[in-house]
Structure formats: structure tokens, C-alpha cells
Structure 1
Amino acid sequence: MASYKLYYFNVRGRAEVSRLLFAAAGQRFEDIRIEQSTWPAYKSQMPLGQMPVLEFNGTQLVQSITIARFLARQFRLGGKDGFELAKVEAVVDTVSDLVSAITPIRREQDERKKHDMLQKFLSEQLSKHLQDLEILGRLYGQGGPYFVGNSLTLADLAFYDAGQSLLEMDRTALNNHPWLKQNRSEVERHPRIAEYLRNRPITAF
């Protein structure tokens, strides 16, 4: 039987999409959450001195998106064939563009500067990111609520997690994008995801 251990900090961050994949698949794994205060003792054990790290049958795999894509393939949540896989990864890469844009804002410590960065992002950049995602959803989703095909994939989970971060910054961010709101609602209705969301630790990000 396959053995999975996921190492990350006690936040959603870069490991949450992988946790959502485990939840959606109903796959048991060790969710090893390391506190910042104890991280120095673990750092030397990680191949690149960073996390997340997935230990699969005793071998460590690095890089958050690589881990998520591996798990999606393992659990048949990466598309039904090679072309669907490519569509899923196109959506994931587009979500990554959004995440890259909002991460510096979330990390900014100066509240005034953070406010200015957020307003600039909301007024000048956000609409394009969300329009791009809606275009792909309508192009690849066969008229349904999922990004690719007619079932849940990594693409939906990646956007669900990014969408949460976005909504924590501006709760109205998706108001003009009904397809994206419906997509997130569909993810939340998945029985295993719903159970996971009810029970996961509440963290700052």
C-alpha cells in the first residue's frame, strides 16, 4: 500500500491544494504540520531546505505544483487522457499567475503599502486574471461547472484555494464572475471536500 507524508507549515499556503487532492480522493496521508519555531530543526532534512515536501513510499518529492500534479495523476484527478491533462495544467498555470500576483500583497507587512498594493491590483490586474480563468472554464468545461470535462480535477481545486485567498483580501472579488463563483460552490458541495473543509484547522492563510 502506498505511503504518503506531506510536510508543511501549519497554514494552508503552498500545501493546501495537495491536501484538497488527498481529501477529494479519500486517500489517507500524514499531514505533518511544522510550527515556525521548530522549522530550523527540520530544515536540513528537506532536500532543498524548503517545504512543502511529499514523502512517497520513503522518497521525498519537492516543489508544490509538482507535488500537486503527481497526486492528481495518482488519484485520477488530472484529466481522463493526455489532452485533458494538458487542459488541466493550462488552468493550473493560469491560476499560478493569479497567485503570483497576490502573494506579494499578502506578505507585505506595512499596512499602508499593503492597502495601496491591493487597490492597484484590484483596479488594474484582477479583472484580466479572472477573465482568463472564465475563458478557460467555458472553453474546456463542456458547458458544466467544472474547468475541464464534467468532473472534479486539480484545476478546480487549484482555483478553489486561490479563490479563498482572493476573497479574504476582497470578499466582492468574484461578484462579476458568476461562472467562477459557481465553480467554487461545486467544489464545496463535493462530499469529501465538504467534510475536509468542516474539519481542517483554521489558519491565517
Structure 2
Amino acid sequence: VLEYNGTKLPQSLSIARFLAKQFQLAGKDNFEQAKVDAVVDTISDAIAKYVSARWPSDETKKEELMKKFFADELPKHLQNLEVLCKFYGNGGPFFVGNHLTWADLLFYDLGETFLETNENCLNSYPWLKQNVQEVAKQPKIAEYLKNRPKTDL
């Protein structure tokens, strides 16, 4: 929950979208913002599938679901993201335009999680792999990553 001017705002994506607008990471105009939202929605679809595979209480079921996720589900979502980057990325390393948006940050976070679980999951998606690397090279992000404490998901 984020409190802003005395009012509480729930929901992680609503908070992220609000903060992205506050810090000029939402897109430069309304149409860019819609493109960013399309990328974020595609990433959110992948997150939803990952969450349902990652947290069953039965370890055998979890292992089976995670294998299925990385073999069947994730490739579909990553292919969709590669298509969107070609439509919206103007040939650069970011999802929309030639600048960092919160879609890139969200994918970085998700990519990092996926890579911890399956280090080869982005190998067939060179643009997405480059996006993760490019986000990590941003000066303030690189500084944060260098100093952040290690936590479990």
C-alpha cells in the first residue's frame, strides 16, 4: 500500500503505474503510455502463470508445474514480448521508444526471477536478454544492484 497526500493506494501495478508517471517512466505521451501498458499487461500474464506454478504446497506438483511453465507457458509470453519490442522499441534496447520505462523495470525484475530459477530461459530471446542487460547498466540501477542486500523471493 502506498500512501500519498493522506490517501492510501492499494495494488502493486496501480502503485507502479502511479510512480512511473511521477518519475517520467510511463511513456512520453498517451499513446506511448498505452504501449507501455500493453507490455506491462503481457508481463503480468506471465507473472500470473508463474505464480500459479511456483506456489503449490505439494513439492511434487510444484516441480511438475514449474517444468511445464518453463517448457510451455513462458516461451509463449517471451515470444509475445519480443514481438511487442519490435513494434514499439524503435530498434533500441527498451520496450517503448528509445528510453527506459517501467515496463523495462518490471521485465528486469521478472527476468531476474526467471533466470534464478532457470538460467537458460532467455537464451532463445536475444532482444529480451539485451533488455535485461541494458536496464542493469543504467547508472542509478547499477549502483543500487551493487549495494542491495540479497533476499529470497
Which structure shows the higher helix fraction?
2
Opposite residue 105 of structure 1, the aligned amino acid is A
Question: What's the CA shift for 1:164?
Answer: 1.4
Larger mean CA deviation between 108-117 and 90-99 belongs to 108-117
RMSD over aligned CA atoms reads 1.0
Deviation at 1:118, TM superposition (A): 1.1
TM-aligned CA deviation for residue 159 of structure 1: 0.6
Give the distance between the partners of 1:108 and 1:102, measured in 2 at CA: 11
| Cα distance per residue 1:38-83 (max 9 Å; x no partner) | xxxxxxxxxxxxxxx1112332111100000001111111000000
- Partner residue of 1:93 out of 23, 38, 41: 41
Equivalent runs, 1:128-139 vs 2, <5 Å: 128-139=76-87
Q: Equivalent of 1:174, from 122, 130, 135? A: 122
User: Deviation digits for residues 13-51 of structure 1, max 9, x if unmatched?
Assistant: xxxxxxxxxxxxxxxxxxxxxxxxxxxxxxxxxxxxxxx
TM-score, normalised relative to structure 1: 0.72
Q: Match for residue 15 of structure 1?
A: none
* Distance of 1:90 and 1:67 partners within structure 2: 17
CA distance in 2, matches of 1:128, 1:171: 18
- 2:25 alignment partner in structure 1: 77
Aligned residues: percent identity? 58
Which among 107, 110, 129 is matched to residue 159 of structure 1?
Answer: 107
Which residue, out of 69, 93, 97, partners 1:121?
A: 69
SS at match of 1:151: coil
Amino acid at match of 1:182: Q
Cα distance between partner residues in 2 of 1:56 and 1:202 = 28
- d(CA) in 1 for partners of 2:104 and 2:145? 15
Please tell me the residue identity of whatever aligns with 2:101: T
* TM-score, length-scaled by structure 2: 0.96
How many residues are treated as equivalent by the alignment? 153
The amino acid that maps onto 2:11 is Q
1:186 counterpart (114, 128, 134): 134
Which runs of structure 1 show a deviation greater than 6 angstroms over 4 or more consecutive aligned residues? Answer: none
Q: Which has the higher contact order (CA 8 A, sep 6+)?
A: 1
The Cα shift of 1:202 comes to 1.4
| 8 Å contact kept, 2:93–2:134 | yes
1:62 has 2:14 as partner = no
The structure with the greater share of residues assigned to strand is 1
- Distance in 2 between the 1:103 and 1:131 partners? 19
Q: Give, in angstroms, the shift of residue 178 of structure 1.
A: 0.4
